[in-house]
Every structure is written in C-alpha cells, then in structure tokens.
Structure 1
Amino acid sequence: MSTTTVSAYSVCTSITREQARNFYYGIRLLPPVKRDALCALYALARRIDDIGDGELAQAEKVAGLAALRAEIEHLHASSDPVLCAVADAARRYPVPVEAFLELVDGVEMDVVGHHYADLDDLVGYCRRVAGTVGRLCLGVFGSRPDPDAESYADNLGIALQLTNILRDVREDLLNGRVYVPQSDLDAFGVQLELDERGTLVDVDGGLTRLVHHSAARARDWYADGLRLVPLLDRRSAACCAAMAGIYRRLLERIDEQPSAVFGARLSLTGREKAVVAARALTGLGA
C-alpha cells in the first residue's frame, strides 16, 4: 500500500472515529484491512449526508450533491483522500460503488423536501439512504453464498433508518422535515406539532400509540435483516451484530418510553454501547 493510500485511510479513520458515534463500536471489531475499508465507505457516506444537513441554501446543496456525484462516477481519477481510500477499497473488495449514487439521490430528497404518503414511499427513501449502506458494508464483509444476502443487508439498513426516524422525530420537525408516513399519522389521529416548550404534543396518546406501532414494524425489518449475520465470518458478524444491536437497544428504549423522544434526542451511553459490542464479539448476538 502506497504512502498516499495509507494517508487517505488515516483521514477516513479519523472522520469515522470522531463522527460515527454508533457505527465505530462495530467497525473497530473488524480486522485492520476491513476496518480501513469500512471507514473509507463511512467517510464518503458522511460527506454526502453533511451536504444535505449543512447550512447552505437549497440550490447550493443540490449543486454540491451534483458535483460529488460526478466525482463518485470518476472515482479512480480523484486525488481527494476520502475518494482515494474508497477507490482502493473498491479494488480490494466487491464494493457496489453505484450505491453511493443512490445515497446521493436519497439525500437530495431531503434537500428538495419530500412528503411520505405511505410506508412504501418511506421504504423507498430508506433503501436509498440506509439500505445502500448495508449493501456497501456487505461488499467489505463478504458472505457465504446466499441469493438473499444482499436483501438482508438492505433490510437491516432500513431497520436502522426506521429507528433513526423514531429517535429524531422531534429534531426533524424542528428542521422542517417529517418522515412519518401520512397514512400512519392519519391512522392514529396525529398531527406533529410542538408546544411552547418545544416538546412534541401527544393528544390523547395518539403519538405514543404511533411510536409503539412503528417500533413493532421496525422489529420485523431487524428480524429479516439479521438473517445476514450467520452468513458472515466471525469478525464481520460481530461488527454487524454490534451496529445492529446498538440500534435495536435504542429502539427498545424508545418503545418502553415513547415520551423520551418527545422533548429530547435519546441516545445510549458509551458504556451501554460497549456492552453491546462486547456481547457481539463473544457471539451472544444483537
């Protein structure tokens, strides 16, 4: 590996360690070569997300995403350290680089604003912004032959994104975004709004019931997605189980007390995440 490539991976590792507050607990369970590759994939995915979540005007975000799309399409010609690391990872592993273009499409939906009429509409979005990440990870993990392995990875990513949506429902509303399908809001008689304290209003418990319903649905996606784990080698399985386990633990916490996300952003402690990662490494699962 050239000095330039080593330096590029170092940049990606620093980004991942500093910003992947949940994923790094799983990533660090991988052997060094796979860890480097997954850090590279994360760093590029993070760059795409950061354009969508940044402070630029909408037109500038759209232009920024278009420029990054062009760079991804000419990945091997780039001198950018993150893109160089991704290009090297793609040479070493069967990484579906085109999944990054789907991720750009999903982030662009955030930028221009998208209304989610029903679950199918939301799942389409989740496949772009999270299922893609599952498929990218699978490219590095590798798996025993199974025609459904890619589908499991995709569905596990969707499960994690559905958990994110429940955790961030208040924060997203503050930013003018609503990811809860309109069909669900209508079914539970919910209109997402904040009171004078900035807390989500739960009229007659409708929002609480909606959270329980959404959590149960997310569990079904986890159940299918986690069928990937037995197909992976021990270290990759531990990484996957750790990342999924942290989000599943968060989902259970939200389901136990929906009001915990009505006024703040819920997260697990570092110790709780470390325990989940340790259990995954010893094979106790997610």
Structure 2
Amino acid sequence: MWVALDDVFKRFNMDIQAFRDMIKGQRMDLGEKVYVKMDDVLDYSYHVASTVGLMLLPILAPGKEQSLREDGIYLGYAMQLTNILRDIGEDLERGRLYIPQDLLVKYEYTVTDLKEHRINEAFQSIWEEMARLAEDYYEKAFRTMNLYPMYSRTPVKGAALLYRAILNEVRTNDYNVFSKKHYVSKDAKEKIISSIS
C-alpha cells in the first residue's frame, strides 16, 4: 500500500495537506462531539469528505487542481450532508448526531424527539433546510464539471447525481430515516447515468 502511494506521489502533484486533513477528520469521529452550528458540520464534512476529492483531483484532472478545488470542496460538502441526512437513524444508534444544535433549537425539536423517531413538521423542516443546503452545493459543484477530462467527468458527475437523487428518495419515503436505508433504484440509476453528458 505504501509503495503504491509513494508511486502516486511521484507521478502526480498530490496535495499532502488533504491527507493530513482527512486524518484529522477520522479523529473527529473517535469521541462524541456536539455540532452547534452548520459551520461546524461543514468543517466536519470538509475533513471527512471534501478531502477525498482534493486527494483525487490531481489524478482525476491533472493540471486543473486549482480550477476545480473550490467546487471539489463543495461536492464533498453536498455528499457528506446527504450521508448525514440519509443516516440519521443509523448514526443515532452509534451515539452520533450531526444535526447542528442551532437547527434543533430553531425548529423546537429535541434529541429526545430524534431518539423516539418523531417525524413531524419540525423534523421535516430541519431535514429540508439541510437538504436545500446540500442541493445548493451540488449545483455549485456542477459549475466546473466540464473541466474534468472525459474519462473522469462521467464517474464524478455520475456519483454526484446519484448521491443527490438519494435526497428525493428520502422525500418519497416520507422522511423515514430511522428504519429504512435509502438507495437509488437500479432503473433510476440507469436513467441518471444515461443522461450524463
């Protein structure tokens, strides 16, 4: 593994800080952490998701890393927020909560409500506020998607579109993120992938 990574560093203009930041992100999940504001959640999302994009950019789009950096970070935000919104129930079982406290206060929804799996208007409002933010970051990420070479544009854009579609799957299933794992159906996947240009 280390030999392979050394070879990658010799062949491509890798961003070593992204690797360090990813390790910091992994450490964030070692203990219980309370996320007070959305900025705290985005900081976490950068460290565990955006860093992946930054590590891959030199390979996916050699020489275009700087042009794609900002929107690559945004794509990480979008995908991680989608993960958070899809996995609320699963995360709760692991003692983790990535919904910021200020949103719970804003909509008068409690951690107890979450643990009791209450899907009410307040929960939907919290979920939708975070989902709209994720969708905004997807749109920002798509601005520069054309800068990726064709060989990497299709998988990157495809992954983004498939992840974004998870949000509508949750909506279709009445926001049940407590007892159901949401995936995009095979037919929907094929339709999305065939639409990529």
The amino acid of 2:146's aligned partner reads: P
Q: 1:89 to 1:143 in 2, by over 3 A?
A: closer
The amino acid of 2:91's aligned partner reads: D
- Quick one: distance in 1 between partners of 2:37 and 2:163? 23
What's 1:124 paired with? 43
Deviation at 1:145, TM superposition (A): 4.9
What's 1:194 paired with? 115
Q: How does 1:39-188 map to 2 (within 5 A)?
A: 82-142=1-61, 145=64, 147-188=66-107
Which is further off, 86-95 or 158-167? 86-95
Q: 1:145 to 1:105 in 2, by over 3 A?
A: closer
Divergent runs of 4+, >4 A: 143-148
Q: TM-score if structure 1 supplies the norm length?
A: 0.63
Question: Secondary structure of 1:260's partner?
Answer: coil
Deviation at 1:210, TM superposition (A): 1.3
- Quick one: distance in 2 between partners of 1:228 and 1:89? 25
Deviation at 1:254, TM superposition (A): 2.0
Q: 1:234 aligns with which of 127, 150, 161?
A: 150
The amino acid of 2:134's aligned partner reads: A
Deviation at 1:250, TM superposition (A): 0.7
- Equivalent residues of 1:122, 1:181 under 8 A apart: yes
What's 1:268 paired with? 184
- Equivalent residues of 2:57, 2:65 under 8 A apart: no
1:225 and 2:135 correspond: no
What are the ranges of 5 or more consecutive residues in structure 2 without an aligned counterpart? none
- Quick one: distance in 2 between partners of 1:237 and 1:177? 34
What are the ranges of 5 or more consecutive residues in structure 1 without an aligned counterpart? 1-81
The amino acid of 1:268's aligned partner reads: V
Q: Deviations over 1:72-97 (max 9, x none)?
A: xxxxxxxxxx3322222222222223
- Quick one: distance in 2 between partners of 1:172 and 1:146? 33
What's 1:66 paired with? none
- Quick one: distance in 2 between partners of 1:116 and 1:272? 34
What's 1:40 paired with? none
- Quick one: distance in 1 between partners of 2:87 and 2:35? 16
- Equivalent residues of 1:143, 1:231 under 8 A apart: no
- Quick one: distance in 1 between partners of 2:8 and 2:144? 21
Root-mean-square deviation (Å): 2.0
* Structure (1 or 2) with the larger CA radius of gyration: 1
Question: Secondary structure of 1:129's partner?
Answer: helix
Question: Secondary structure of 2:121's partner?
Answer: helix
Question: Secondary structure of 2:98's partner?
Answer: coil
- Equivalent residues of 1:211, 1:258 under 8 A apart: no
Q: 1:94 to 1:277 in 2, by over 3 A?
A: farther
- Quick one: distance in 1 between partners of 2:66 and 2:60? 16
- Equivalent residues of 2:74, 2:138 under 8 A apart: yes
The amino acid of 2:157's aligned partner reads: A
Percent identity among equivalent residues?
A: 27
Relative contact order, higher structure (CA 8 A, sep 6+): 2
Deviation at 1:251, TM superposition (A): 1.6
Q: How does 1:3-18 map to 2 (within 5 A)?
A: none
1:216 and 2:137 correspond: no
